[in-house]
Structure 1
Amino acid sequence: MNIDIVTLFPEMVTAGFQTSIIGRAIDSGVVAIDTVNFRDFSTNKHHHVDDYPYGGGAGMLLKVEPLVAAITAAKEKQSGKRSRVILMDPSGKKFDQQTAVEFSQEEHLIFICGHYEGYDERIKDYTDDSYSIGDFVLTGGELPAMVMIDASVRLLPGVLGNEDSAIEESHSSGLLEYPQYTRPPEFDGKKVPEVLLSGHHGRIKEWRHYQALRKTYRERPDLLETYDMSPEETKWLVEIKNEQTKKEKKD
């Protein structure tokens, strides 16, 4: 996989990907991540890439010409590959795990990182998608792009040491990940659930599934609105709700 990040601050993203799992993925050749500074494509003698908005208003807008030129240059570097251009935009679709899976299957991704007050709207004619990581405002698109890249690259074969890790993580199944424990078996009076010490793989698997549903209901019930629940999970959810009701009455 090849990834290009169109940004005014290439050193910011370059430094962020030099270590840990993504750094190792780059070193092993699983992914190539490069930057394109769109200031290099400014036609202004002062290398400005922004200007005042027509009609007035606060702030400055990124100009369309240098961004389109940078996108074109990034595509030309990967001639013959299908490129998907992603615009970092607070008004874009919310990035999620399913989107990360989609991104991980692309040949070439180009992330456009904005700054200032926003973009000239015409840039959207040269992009495929607009994405956001949440309903808040950041100073630029670099951090959201890095989040999306991290979530996507770690799904590539050979990136994680244990291929099952990505399958069992929160959001991969539509539920949050079940609670996990390690040694010691007891700390400060708090014990590891007996089922995890039983060695019975079937019971452990069922317990984990139940706990994942329980945790999702308690911490992110909104995820269950679109989750396709099995009859067994429906029965479990009734138990979980009754358990919660009893706890609330007791408190």
Structure 2
Amino acid sequence: MQTLTNIGDNLVKGISARYGLSYEAVVHMLVAVNNGGGSMAQFNCPELGGSGQWMRGGMTMVGDMFNNGLKNTIDNLCNELATILANNQVFPVIPAGTLGSNQWWPVNLGNPSSTGSQNNTRYAVFPNRLAIEKNGQVTLYDTLDHQIGGVSQQQGNDISLTFSSQWGNISVNSLPVIADDSFTQTHSSHNTNFAQSTDFAKQQQSPPETGSNDKMMSSESTAINASQYSVNETLDIIEKLAQLRDLGALTDAEFNEKKSDLLQRI
């Protein structure tokens, strides 16, 4: 069970007695509200009807959708817990940037524009970055040109979060994972195309092997292969290079140099 401070322990005991709930049930709801940043909670508590969702000032959803008394109880309980979290140290202090901390994302990202949790997954939105925490692992994504405005409600068994941007809804699985030594890339499968494109760029940038004869043969081979490119093939390569430039794998100067070289070979 979640460890509480002495203040938190006493507050939970008081709420437990007033609401007629077990100590464990109140702690469960306290953790859920805390994970939702004090503004929302997703929970699965048998004493409160099983699975449900609460949003501060918004809708409260429970399994027994017509049980308004239960909804009122959950709404009052979660509002009280949110107030307690805002004004008391109910959990032991954990250093920022640590998974157990309220600030679980890397400290170098600064303050997020929004945070929350859904489907037992926590998220934090930053300029051009999206941090996702699930099962004790944090994955950092590049949001590209998306201006993320909020998380969309998911239905069914899909545990992938979907966010809204100026281009509509965007799935986390469609965003590239940022390679960082401090993160485990648990969502690398959808980056296969990006990895292949990066290998292509490295091949384009790799210097020829040493030795004048080998260098001459390599240059001649490259020229022959390049001359066999059709216009469409050349444009496809330039498009891939442009994607690498947009993702930061190539500089503008490198992109323009490669593009000019390819266009001259058409």
- TM-score by shorter chain over 0.5: no
TM-score by length of 2: 0.27
Of structures 1 and 2, the one scoring higher in RCO (CA 8 A, sep 6+) is: 1
Q: Which has the larger radius of gyration?
A: 2
TM-score by length of 1: 0.28
